[in-house]
Amino acid sequence: MSESPQKKRKRLHSHDEHPRKKAPSDAQSVRLEMVQDVGEWSPALVFTPGLDYGFKNPMDAYSKGEPAQDDLFRERLLLHSADHPKLDYVAQEEKAGDAGSLSQHYIAVHDPQTGETQLMPARKLILRSTLQSARLPEEKEELPAQKTASSIHIAMDSRILLGQAFGTKKSQKALRSLTENAIVSLNEAKKDSRGQLVLEGGAAVVIDAMGESFAISERKALQEAVDEAKPRPKPNEEANNPAEVYQLEDLAGKDIWMRLNISKFQSAVKNNQDILTVSRYFSSRLNRVAREKVDDKLRALRLVLTMIEWRKSFKPGRKNTFYPPRDEDMKDVITDFDPILMKKLRQKFAPDASVSSWHIDNICTHICALSLIVDSYTTDTFDLKQDLGLESRKMVQYFREIGCRIVPLKETEYEKFGIKTKAEAKSHTVAKLRLPLKFPKMRAQMRRR
């Protein structure tokens, strides 16, 4: 016979163990009150999707006399902060029909002394950020022409930002060509049968998106805004001779001009000493310029050497960004290193930790303008092309952007530029600065039939 299963014995509880069931506590009763009419001073919940605001700066409150969110509140509420140097923060309620506009939020306020809890509706605000450049300037009165230029320029900036964020690959490529290279002009813009501008490239994307037809005065203002944003030195269009177009103090600034020390190079040429540099342009012109005893030319040549060595030490990053070298890294790169001079160069040409293609183009166009001063406004582009590591087409475009005319090398100029054969002359082009200045013009796009 099988043995009968033994009965399980109950566990003996010791007196030290605590019981599993909690003893009833003397809980205080809570009275809940629903507050429907909150008046004007209602609480607000601010949501920050994708932002890290921190709410360190106070925000100004504004109200609008129209009902909001199913008439729970008498007025709409808007919060605004402009304390950030580059961004504006605006918090406002969602409009009807938006996602989450039908949901209602409440806040409970509990008083532990009386045991009363008030439940009241709260506004739901969404915090967004916008660039301050997208706002029209209201601080100062402007003339009608100035208002037109500023409003068109601001509208172009807004459209460019939207196109880069949400545009197609084709439109983004066109916008990059417009904003990074900044090699555009609207001198030859035409209108179609509907009165709208017919342009090409990135300008067509921007202007078509704006959906406006510009008058002749507006077109001139738009051209001035685009030319103003180009990465190039500002020419003196009222100059009577080429020497007045670009002045060394205007190209470098007075602070940089005062820091250009040329005594080391003058003594080296006087004592027939060699100066080893990475610049072919500087080495081939130092003896000639120093013997001319024109301090402005030698200062310009010394600044060209410093900017070439500085530009060659930039490290490329992602998405057309470049990183300037640190001070401790430049001591072994820059000839006759001057920390104060390099600090002023960074403030003028590369103020941030990383720079874009616009800043690189700005540095290169300033180097080209300085070379015109060194070479008496007739420059062989070959040496600069080798120093900057550029293609001939890009180097020529830089000189055209500052108003130069590009011509082939003549046989009578072979000796002047050290050319021996015709085969060698084919790789050399000459940039000449002549009056009147001639800047690149953008061709108008042909109208489709």
The pairing of beta strand 116-131 with beta strand 44-47: parallel
Structural domain of residue 186, as residue ranges? 144-228
Counting every residue written for the chain, the total comes to 449
| Rounded Cα–Cα distance for residues 218 and 203 (Å) | 15
The verdict on 60 and 172 lying in the same domain is: no
438 in a domain, yes or no? no
441 in a domain, yes or no? no
Which residues in 9-39 are b (16+ Cβ under 10 Å) and which e? Answer: eeeeeeeeeeeeeeeeeeeeeeeeeeeeebe
The verdict on 75 and 162 lying in the same domain is: no
402 in a domain, yes or no? yes
pLDDT for the residue numbered 78: 81
pLDDT for the residue numbered 369: 93
444 in a domain, yes or no? no
- CA–chain centroid gap for 219, Å, is 24
| Domain's final residue, options 134, 160, 179 | 134
224 in a domain, yes or no? yes
pLDDT for the residue numbered 187: 42
State the Cα torsion 208-209-211-217 to the nearest 10°: -70
Mean pLDDT across the chain = 75
Q: How many domains does the chain have?
A: 3
The structure tokens listed for 417 are: 């530029």
Kindly indicate the confidence band of residue 361, based on its pLDDT and cuts at 50, 70 and 90: very high
The verdict on 174 and 320 lying in the same domain is: no
The verdict on 183 and 76 lying in the same domain is: no
The verdict on 277 and 394 lying in the same domain is: yes
**Comparison of pLDDT for 58 and 22, the residue scoring more:** 58
The verdict on 352 and 299 lying in the same domain is: yes
CA-based radius of gyration for the chain: 35
Spell out the residues 6+ positions from residue 330 whose beta carbon is closer than 8 angstroms to its own: 310, 313, 337, 342
pLDDT for the residue numbered 172: 72
Q: Give 401-436 pLDDT, tens digit per residue.
A: 999 999 888 888 888 888 888 888 888 889 999 888
Kindly indicate the confidence band of residue 212, based on its pLDDT and cuts at 50, 70 and 90: very low
15 in a domain, yes or no? no
46 class by beta-carbon count within 10 Å (0-12 exposed, 13-18 middle, 19+ buried):
middle
331 in a domain, yes or no? yes
178 in a domain, yes or no? yes
| Domain's final residue, options 228, 252, 276 | 228
Mean pLDDT along residues 349-363: 89
The verdict on 350 and 426 lying in the same domain is: yes
Mean pLDDT along residues 229-235: 86
Q: Give 79-133 pLDDT, tens digit per residue.
A: 888 877 778 888 887 665 555 666 778 888 888 888 788 888 888 888 888 877 6
The verdict on 382 and 247 lying in the same domain is: yes
pTM recorded for the entire structure: 0.53
How many separate helices (H) and strands (E) can be counted in the chain?
A: 16, 15
| Domain's final residue, options 107, 134, 161 | 134
The verdict on 368 and 219 lying in the same domain is: no
Spell out the residues 6+ positions from residue 82 whose beta carbon is closer than 8 angstroms to its own: 88, 89, 132
The verdict on 216 and 282 lying in the same domain is: no
The verdict on 275 and 167 lying in the same domain is: no
The verdict on 419 and 299 lying in the same domain is: yes
